[in-house]
């Protein structure tokens, strides 16, 4: 085809060409995923350290201050350490590059970890609720007044952890980190409920010893509700639910900005861990050659992989524009396409397969 220039593929291009089509990925895309996983891991390490210190403080304060709510809260903080380890494991697995056995990578490990943590939230809410009912039915001492100071410290620290992890999870697009953040907010809620309950018990005096347990029951309802909400979010990722509308809009906008593309007929996006896979149908001039259509498809793929979106791979299907492009418009567009290819097709070979 006149006007096109081809250069020999580099060693990296040749090594990628030897792999099956699904294994050809954007190096920048997976580098971004790895970096995001490291950010999430660092945030989780902070949460583990803080949770371990708070768990020890709450359990000791609960035993010495006769406050069951604090003991239960301390046990839940120990569960937070387990959930944080699940986060670390799922992020590590999700950032693993694809191979012959798993050609689309390990991204689904991330929402699976989120499911485990969500179920942990539901179990924790159920266990605390059962134990709270038992404590309500069992006479016990009034909690010590100084336990309120411990509870204030716990509420402030845990809410801070929630906001920190939630922000990090949103920044890197991690469902499992956002879910783990709610474990810390659940701690803050149960501690706040315990604070209210112990305050009522201390002010009202004898006969109100179980006020903190009643408050804990209310907190369990809030925790259970959020556990179900987060579980549904993880299931959506596993079931390849459609992404937010602004993501698809951005993909369509980038694709239609590529010379030679007249429209985007179909755009399918599915989330995989911290990244996404895209299947897109673009309309081009039906009178151009197969090679020209192939080059346009590659430019669409390259534009999407180089964008700000965390895209791991793109499959581009080329369709003839309807109605057909007028001859004069086709002539202008072909000139633009050829000029673009002359400057930017280094690395493509004549025998290159269809864009994947």
Q: Quick check: 192 and 212 in contact, CB under 8 A?
A: no
Helix 147-172 to helix 175-204 angle, to the nearest 10 degrees? 160
> Which of the two residues, 48 and 356, has the higher pLDDT score?
48
Q: Quick check: 43 and 165 in contact, CB under 8 A?
A: yes
Instruction: Round to whole Å and give the CA distance between 339 and 328.
Output: 17
For the segment 237-259, the average pLDDT, to the nearest whole number, is: 91
Per-residue pLDDT tens digits for 73-83: 777 777 778 87
Per-residue pLDDT tens digits for 314-329: 999 999 987 665 554 5
Quote the pLDDT of residue 6.
32
On average, the pLDDT of the chain sits at 78
Residue 332 tokens, joined: 């202008």
Instruction: Round to whole Å and give the CA distance between 208 and 201.
Output: 5
For the segment 282-290, the average pLDDT, to the nearest whole number, is: 92
> Which of the two residues, 354 and 218, has the higher pLDDT score?
218
For the segment 279-293, the average pLDDT, to the nearest whole number, is: 93
> Can you tell me which residue has the tokens 């069951």?
68
Point out the least confidently predicted range of 4-18, 75-89, 92-106, 129-143: 4-18
Burial class (CB in 10 A: 0-12, 13-18, 19+), 101: exposed
CA of residue 13 relative to chain centroid, distance? 30
Instruction: Round to whole Å and give the CA distance between 80 and 74.
Output: 10
Quote the pLDDT of residue 314.
94
User: Phi and psi (nearest 5°) for 142?
Assistant: -65, 140
Closest CA to 23 of 94, 105, 107: 105
Residue 291 tokens, joined: 């090679």
Domains with residue ranges and CATH for the chain: 22-238 (1.20.1510.10), 243-344 (3.30.70.1350)
pLDDT > 70? residue 7: no
Q: Quick check: 211 and 204 in contact, CB under 8 A?
A: yes
Per-residue pLDDT tens digits for 171-214: 887 878 888 888 788 878 878 887 888 888 888 877 777 787 78
Quote the pLDDT of residue 74.
77
């Amino acid at each position: 085809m006149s006007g096109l220039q081809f250069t020999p593929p580099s060693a990296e291009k040749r090594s990628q060409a030897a792999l099956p089509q699904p294994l050809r990925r954007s190096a920048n895309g997976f580098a971004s995923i790895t970096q995001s996983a490291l950010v999430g891991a660092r945030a989780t390490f902070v949460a583990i350290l803080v949770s371990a210190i708070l768990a020890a403080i709450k359990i000791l304060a609960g035993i010495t201050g006769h406050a069951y709510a604090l003991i239960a809260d301390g046990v839940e903080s120990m569960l937070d350490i387990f959930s944080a380890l699940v986060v670390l494991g799922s992020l590590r697995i999700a950032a693993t590059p694809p191979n012959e056995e798993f050609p689309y990578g390990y991204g689904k490990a991330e929402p699976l970890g989120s499911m485990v943590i969500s179920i942990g939230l539901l179990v924790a809410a159920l266990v605390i609720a059962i134990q709270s009912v038992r404590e309500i039915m069992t006479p016990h001492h009034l909690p010590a007044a100084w336990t309120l100071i411990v509870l204030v410290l716990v509420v402030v620290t845990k809410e801070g952890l929630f906001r920190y992890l939630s922000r990090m999870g949103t920044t890197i697009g991690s469902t499992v980190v956002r879910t783990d953040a709610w474990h810390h907010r659940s701690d803050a809620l149960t501690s706040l409920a315990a604070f209210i309950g112990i305050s009522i018990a201390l002010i009202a005096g004898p006969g109100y010893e179980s006020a903190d347990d009643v408050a804990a029951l209310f907190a369990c309802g809030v925790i259970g509700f959020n556990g179900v909400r987060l579980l549904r979010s993880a299931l959506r990722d596993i079931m390849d639910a459609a992404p937010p509308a602004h993501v698809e809009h951005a993909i369509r906008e980038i694709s239609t900005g590529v010379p030679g593309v007249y429209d985007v007929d179909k755009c399918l996006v599915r989330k995989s861990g911290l990244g996404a896979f895209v299947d897109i149908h673009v309309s081009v001039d039906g009178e151009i050659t197969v090679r020209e259509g192939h080059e346009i498809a590659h430019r669409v793929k390259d534009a999407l992989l180089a964008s700000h979106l965390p895209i791991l791979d793109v499959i581009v299907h080329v369709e003839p524009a309807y109605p057909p492009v007028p001859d004069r418009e086709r002539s202008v567009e072909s000139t633009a396409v050829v000029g673009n290819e002359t400057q930017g097709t280094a690395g493509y070979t004549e025998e290159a397969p269809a864009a994947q």
